[in-house]
A and B are shown apart, each in its own frame.
Chain A
Amino acid sequence: VVTIDPSGVTKIGIIGGNLRAAQLQGLPAARLIVIACVMGGACAGLAGMIDVAAVHGRANGSLAAGYGYVGILIAFLARHNPLAIPPMAFLMGGIAAAGGLLQRRLGLPDATVLVLQGMIFVSILASETLYGRLRWFQPREMGR
């Protein structure tokens, strides 16, 4: 289970893209931002519910295993595109689930997964800078 941060509906997207323009359009920016935060929190809460109900089956102190932080980064990796979030979440969940196998088969410490995830995040977020510079990174539409 990985927390999924919603990137929001169109109006919220407008506010995130350009706050001044949204205010000129007459959108209630402050209220929409609060609504977006409420919805985001609700999604994260649902993730916690799934973690307790379906994965662990009980609630205890060792429950929070950094899903929240990984979830935030998954939203960044998906470039805030909701459709790209499930594959990304699946990938990260798979890497996390592979941790047990790595420990048993290769005798690596359990932090290997954390190192791998951190390296993936650092390199992908850093390659954001290549976007639009290399030929196969050309944006198909402007206005990102």
Chain B
Amino acid sequence: VSGDLGAWTVLIAILAGAVRVSTPFLFVSLGECLTERAGRINLGNEGVLVFGAMAAYVMSYHTGSPWLGVLAAALAGSVLGAAHGLVCSLSRVNDIAMGIAFMLAGTGLAFFLGKPYVQPTAPQLPTFPLGFWSDLPQIRSALEVSPLFFLGIALAFLLAWAFRTTRAGLTLRIVGDSADAARAMGLPIVPIRIAATATGSALAGIGGAFLSLSYPGSWNEGLSSGQGLMAVALVVFARWNPLGCVAVALLFGAAGALGPSLQTAGVTQGYYLF
């Protein structure tokens, strides 16, 4: 249809990939950022991601409304997160080990319950066609941006603002940075941490909903390739800053898209390095 775009194909693919691949990274890392700011680490977000993807797909398939699917994913995520938060509030329970246990249990439950839904197709989330100004089909398809991407970016700004200026954000940071100070101030540390873990996992569940309802947009057992775990590392890379999470998620999304796009451009060696 169009002329030879040459090296532009790679750039367009990277742009599209940065927007698409980064969205689950963005949501999981924002959720994990919230959890870690409150002083817990929830490695179970990998399980929540897969479970949220399954919940969203099943809900979207049965009700026909993908937005209800996103809601279901957030609810399922918050339930799993609250369970992790509650169990880790018991004394002598290690939150890292429990996170890995939840990761196994979450992915296992998702595969177990989602087995009958691998075949049917569920209604997908709509996208904003931001490429309307262009005649090139590549650019048009690259700029089909999901509303969840904008929701994630708005959420990052909201979280950054809330951490810096609101009372709730300050309380959360006290609980995370110095449990002794929080105890001295009479803050309810355990409920705050449970709430932060549940909210963080709800966000991770929305990231899972993006996986099954937008891109790649299907439900199967190879859906998440460790994105939830990588997002936990991204939070550290972003220095626990929500706006940093956006930049880092975009960077890793672009890096993830680099491999396939180089393959289409004819590079046959070393693409798996990304």
Chain B, residue nearest A121 (CB): B101
Quick one: CB contact mask for B44-65 with A, threshold 8 Å, 1 for yes? Answer: 0001000000000000000000
Q: For the complex formed, measure the closest distance between the CB of A93 and the CB atoms of chain B, giving whole angstroms.
A: 15
A90 interface residue, CB < 8 Å from B?
Answer: no
Q: For the complex formed, measure the closest distance between the CB of A122 and the CB atoms of chain B, giving whole angstroms.
A: 5
Contact A109 B94 (CB under 8 A): no
Known interface pairs A66-B104, A118-B104, A119-B105; A109-B97 also in contact (CB < 8 Å): no
Known interface pairs A69-B103, A76-B97; A128-B108 also in contact (CB < 8 Å): no
Report chain B residues within 8 Å CB of A118. 47, 101-109
B93 interface residue, CB < 8 Å from A?
Answer: yes
Quick one: CB contact mask for A103-144 with B, threshold 8 Å, 1 for yes? Answer: 000000111111111110110011011010000000000000
Q: For the complex formed, measure the closest distance between the CB of B155 and the CB atoms of chain A, giving whole angstroms.
A: 29
Q: Which residue numbers of B lie inside 8 Å of A, CB to CB?
A: 47, 87, 90-94, 97-98, 100-112, 115, 221
Contact A121 B94 (CB under 8 A): no
Instruction: Give the 9 A-B residue pairs with the shortest CB-CB distance, closest first.
Output: A118-B105, A114-B108, A111-B111, A121-B101, A129-B90, A115-B108, A118-B104, A76-B97, A111-B112
Contact A114 B111 (CB under 8 A): yes
How far apart sit A126 and B217, CA to CA, in the bound complex (Å)? 35
A72 interface residue, CB < 8 Å from B?
Answer: yes
Contact B108 A126 (CB under 8 A): no
A73 interface residue, CB < 8 Å from B?
Answer: yes
Contact B111 A73 (CB under 8 A): no
Can you name 10 A-B pairs with beta carbons within 8 Å? A69-B104, A109-B112, A109-B115, A111-B110, A111-B221, A118-B109, A121-B104, A121-B105, A129-B91, A131-B92
Known interface pairs A129-B92, A129-B93; A122-B100 also in contact (CB < 8 Å): no
Q: Which one of A66, A69, A111, A113 lies within 8 Å of B115 (CB-CB)?
A: A111
Report chain B residues within 8 Å CB of A2. none
Q: For the complex formed, measure the closest distance between the CB of A109 and the CB atoms of chain B, giving whole angstroms.
A: 4
Q: For the complex formed, measure the closest distance between the CB of A135 and the CB atoms of chain B, giving whole angstroms.
A: 17
A4 interface residue, CB < 8 Å from B?
Answer: no
Contact B112 A115 (CB under 8 A): yes
A70 interface residue, CB < 8 Å from B?
Answer: yes
Q: For the complex formed, measure the closest distance between the CB of A55 and the CB atoms of chain B, giving whole angstroms.
A: 20
Contact A72 B100 (CB under 8 A): yes
8 extra A-B contacts, CB within 8 A, seeds A111-B108, A114-B107, A117-B104 = A76-B94, A111-B107, A111-B115, A118-B103, A122-B105, A125-B93, A128-B92, A129-B90
Chain B, residue nearest A118 (CB): B105
Q: Which one of A117, A119, A125, A131 lies within 8 Å of B94 (CB-CB)?
A: A125
Contact A122 B101 (CB under 8 A): yes
